Amino acid sequence: MVDLSQYLPILMFLGIALVLSGAFVVLPMIAARFTGTHQPTPEKLTEYECGFPAFEDSRSQFDVRFYLVAILFIIFDLEAAFIYPWAVTVFDLGWVAWTSMMVFIGELALGLVYAWKKGALDWE
C-alpha cells in the first residue's frame, strides 16, 4: 500500500497557492468596487498600448518579417541570459569555459551575419 501522507505538504502548498492567487485576483477587484475607482469611461476604455485605435481586423495575419525579428530578439535575449552566469563564474571555471563561450558567441555571430545577408533585419 502506498503511503499518501508524503504528498500532504505538496497538497497544502498547492492549496495555499490557489487561495493566495485567487485572493490576488479577486481582492483588488472588490476594493475597486468599494472605493469607486471602477468607473469605466470612454477615455479609460481606449487603446493604451500602441497609442492609436486598431485600423484592421484583429485576425489579420502579420508579415513574416515580424516573426523573424521576434525570433532573432529571443535568440539574442537568451544569449544575454547565458552570458551573465558565465561572466560571474568564468574565472573559477578556467579556459575551457572561456573557449566554449567564445564558440557559442561565434555561432550566434555567424547566425546574425546569415540573417543579415538574407535580409531578415531589413524593415520596409
The pLDDT tens digits of the residues spanning 95-109 come to 998 898 899 889 888
Give the pLDDT confidence score for residue 62 in this predicted structure: 66
Q: How far apart are CA 106 and CA 109, in angstroms?
A: 5
Q: How far apart are CA 79 and CA 109, in angstroms?
A: 11
Q: What is the pTM of this model?
A: 0.44
pLDDT at 19 over 90: yes
Residues 6+ apart with CB under 8 A from 47: 53, 54
CB 121 within 8 A of CB 110: no
Q: How is residue 6 annotated by DSSP? A: G
- Domains in the chain, CATH or no CATH each: 4-118 (1.20.58)
pLDDT at 16 over 90: yes
